[in-house]
Amino acid sequence: MLEFKNEIEEKVKELLDVDRPVSLETPSPERGDYALPCFDFASLLKKAPDVIAKELVQKIDLKRGDVEQSGPYINFSIDTSYLVENTLKSCLEGTFGRFPHKDESVIIEHTSANPNAPLHVGNARNPIIGDTLARIYRRLGFDVITEYYVDDMGRQVAILTWALDNIREDDLPEPDYNKPDHEMARYYQHASSMVEKDDEVLGAVQSLIQRMEEGDEEVIEAFIDYSKKVLEGHKDSLARLNIFQDSYKTESSLVLDGEVKKTVDELRESKVCGDEDGALYLPIGDDRIFLTRSDGTSLYPARDIAYHIWKSRRADRLIDVLGEDHKSHARIVKKALESLNISPLPSFIFYSFVSLEGEKMSTRSARSVWLDELMDNAEERAKEEILTRRDDLQPDQIEKSAREVGMGAVRFNIIRVQPEKHMDFRWEDALNFQGSSAPFVQYTHARACSILRKWGGDEEILKEQDGSLLDHESEIKLVKTIAKYPEVLLDSMENSAPHLMAKYAVTVASEFNLFYRDCPVLQGDEKTVSRLSLVKAYKEAISIILDTLGISAPEYM
RNA sequence: GGGCGUGUGGCCUAGUCUGGAUAAGGCGACAGCCUCCUAAGCUGUAAGUCGGGGGUUCAAAUCCCCUCACGCCCGCCA
């Protein structure tokens, strides 16, 4: 399909001899697969749009498709038997949706949550966007490293450290979960409110920060140690979402190995910075961003700049997934990197915050839904659903399927929304497994598996099918939709828009459901084998599409 | 106050970058479809001034200006 599109674009460009990019649109299906409105060329060629369309249609000759004029529009339709044969082949041979390896690497930084509390559904948006994006880049042939930047030297960790050394566990509530992040969050939350009320506690926390800055080994060790424990909790939660990071970089390592100091020195010499009482700052418009305190110790922006310099040595592209609260900060970091002639510069993908049933979510006020809690509820709900409709599955099959469906539902519910849009988390929506949801898509995979299981033949013979007997509208539409995958993949990457992949998954699944309704497979007639090959092809394709979203494809549910 | 972002049927969202042929899905509501490959499915109905106002254009949800609402940021915190 992508080939066909590219061919049209090239031919049109050549025939009209124009520089401007030819942008094709997708018309309603009965008109064709792609359409070109000719209004744009009217002023250029000094002819009426429908005349241009008419002339162009006569001249254009496509290898694998038809051209038709419709007033000022030209509609292009691909040769369906060619498309069917090729799409089936690529799915069945395992080449579907696989782009050639690019000699280009990208580091996608995501999650990078403060190591003071468990992940909640608000910051869960970050890993889900980041991991999905990573999967999209991998499919497109990039070498991808996903990285978690561990902020183990910040104020939040200082508060946590003070709390662990000064608060008795007896004074704290039971943890929500027996995981290190939940256990330690109790200390943090308790201390956090003390810091606000009690100046003595505030002073103690500040002195911890001071000692850490001065290189006090005992304090630094405590910071690193405690944040590591919280991080272990984050890793466990992420693993349940099928998210595994390739690399973890701690802020402390950048400070301890002198990387930060080196960067600060370079910035000081670069003349782009100002100096006030020994504190180094970067002028941005009328504002200034401080990089160091007047005692010379580094501030977060300086460390972040150092981190990005370190990253830039390791890849051709850098992408950071960040909450919208980091927007202005990130742009400043980028500006600083630019002035130091660092390449590649990072590009950012910002996501908006998640509110909870209409109200603001916050870890400190405990107005949040833990990711672990959401996962548990989703799995529990999935299990209930399975139990109401299946009585033929073994307990371990039920557990496995419930995990797959629950995890998918959570990921999908979050990735389906464009990152920059606000999200309001509602239990009702998150646990709704109908319509536009992961279970809807997964269900079609289970159905396809079920058909193949019931048939019971050797699936190898399906690979020989060319699909020439597939001519029903629902069959053709399903194949066409499957064949759109590479376009969606490219679109998602180019626009940093992973939600498009979620949208697409639902579209393909809907087409499968229509095929399922209109075209009975196991009728034992002459179409059975052709249709089985389409079912098998769909099963392979939807597995890959779900995998792009990090969602697994259950064999039964 | 300044900067950035968002505003599409009762609710959630796609489409906005790159303006085009009747504004697309889902949830909820209502009415139907399991003697037939899993009904987590399918079909139909009701429901829309694309926040509001101006402008550009043959053509605006989409581009420009103004305005309103909401979110985020504006620390020698991170």
CA distances from A214 to A218, A255, A256, A295, A429 (A): 11, 11, 11, 10, 49
pLDDT by residue (tens digit) across A130-152? 999 999 999 999 999 999 999 99
The contacts found for A100-103 with CB under 8 angstroms, 24 or more apart, are: A100/A141, A101/A141, A102/A140, A102/A141, A102/A142, A102/A143
Domain residue spans in chain A?
2-78, 110-356, 371-548
Question: Tell me: the pLDDT tens digits for A288-320?
Answer: 889 998 888 888 999 999 999 999 999 999 999
Span of A40-44, A47-51, A79-83 with lowest mean pLDDT? A40-44
Q: What is the mean pLDDT of residues A15-32?
A: 82
β partners of residue A290: A281
Looking at residue A361, its pLDDT comes to 79
Nearest to A35, CA basis, from A49, A45, A19: A49
8 A C-beta contact, residue A484 and residue A97: no
Q: What is the pLDDT of residues A106-130, one digit of tens each?
A: 999 999 999 999 999 988 999 999 9
A497-513, pLDDT tens digit by residue? Answer: 999 999 999 999 999 99
If you average pLDDT over residues A411-416, what whole number do you get? 96
Radius of gyration of chain A (CA): 28
Is the per-residue pLDDT at A210 higher than 90? no
Predicted confidence at residue A20, as pLDDT, reads: 67
| Å between CA of A384 and C1' of B40 | 11
Rounded to whole angstroms, the maximal C-alpha distance in chain A is 87
Q: From the CA of A388, how many Å to the C1' of B56?
A: 59
Which stretch, A29-33, A54-58, A535-539, has highest mean pLDDT? A535-539
Q: Which residue is associated with the tokens 């183990």? A: A152
Cβ–Cβ < 8 Å for A69, A53 = yes
Tokens of A451: 């058909």
Euclidean distance between CA atoms A195 and A79, whole angstroms: 70
Residue type for position A485: Y
* Å separating the CA of residue A422 from the C1' of nucleotide B7: 11
Interatomic separation, CA of residue A175 and C1' of nucleotide B33, rounded (Å): 49
Answer yes or no: are the C-beta atoms of A125 and A137 closer than 8 Å.
no
Is it true that domain A371-548 has CATH number 1.10.730.10?
yes
Mean pLDDT of A406-426: 95
Q: Which of A2-11, A206-215, A444-453 has the highest mean pLDDT?
A: A444-453
Question: What's the CA A540/C1' B39 distance, rounded, in angstroms?
Answer: 24
**Which residue is closest to B13 in terms of CA–C1' distance?**
A417
Q: What integer is the mean pLDDT of A514-536?
A: 95
CATH architecture of A2-78: 2-Layer Sandwich (3.30)
Shortest CA to C1' contact from A298: nucleotide: B76
Question: What CA–CA distance (Å, rounded) separates A84 from A556?
Answer: 27
C-beta neighbour count of A270 within 10 angstroms: 12
Q: Would you say the C-alpha torsion A152, A156, A162, A164 has a positive or negative sign?
A: negative
> And the tokens for A379?
């799995």
How much of chain A, in percent, has pLDDT values that exceed 70?
98
Q: How far apart are CA A515 and CA A499, in angstroms?
A: 25
Q: CA at A329, C1' at B75: how many angstroms apart?
A: 13
| Residue A19: pLDDT band with limits 50, 70, 90 | low
Write the DSSP string, A5-38.
HHHHHHHHHHHHT--S----B---TTT-SEEEE-
Which residue is closest, via its CA, to the C1' of B24?
Answer: A28
> Which nucleotide has the shortest C1'-to-CA distance from A423?
B12
A301: nt with nearest C1' to CA: B78
For the domain made up of A110-356, the CATH class stated in words is alpha beta
Lookup: nucleotide whose C1' is closest to A295 CA = B76
**Token code pair at residue A390:** 């299946």
The answer, yes or no, to whether residue A269 has pLDDT greater than 80, is yes
Give the residue nearest to nucleotide B73 (CA to C1'): A325
Task: Give the Cα-Cα-Cα angle A471, A36, A136 (nearest 5 degrees).
Answer: 70
Distance from C-alpha of A484 to C-alpha of A482, rounded to nearest angstrom: 5
Q: Are A247 and A148 in contact (CB under 8 A)?
A: yes
Predicted pLDDT of residue A517: 96
Question: Of A297, A231, A250, A291, nearest to A153 (Cα)?
Answer: A250
3-state secondary structure of A64: coil
Q: What is the pLDDT of residue A58?
A: 92
Which strand B bases fall within 7 angstroms of a protein CB?
2-7, 12-15, 17-22, 25-28, 36-43, 58-59, 70-78
Per-residue pLDDT of A356-412, as tens digits, reads 887 887 766 667 889 999 999 999 999 999 999 898 999 999 999 999 999 999 999
Protein CA at A370 to nucleotide C1' at B65, angstroms: 44
pLDDT at A258 over 70: yes
A402, closest nucleotide (Cα–C1'): B40
Q: Whose CA is nearest the C1' atom of nucleotide B6?
A: A421
Angle at A508 between CA A505 and CA A509, to 5 degrees: 85
Which pLDDT score, from 0 to 100, does residue A283 have? 82
CA of A517 to C1' of B44 (A): 16
- In Å, what is the separation between the CA of A358 and the C1' of B78? 26
* ipTM of this predicted structure: 0.96
Cβ–Cβ under 8 Å, residues A496 and A489: no
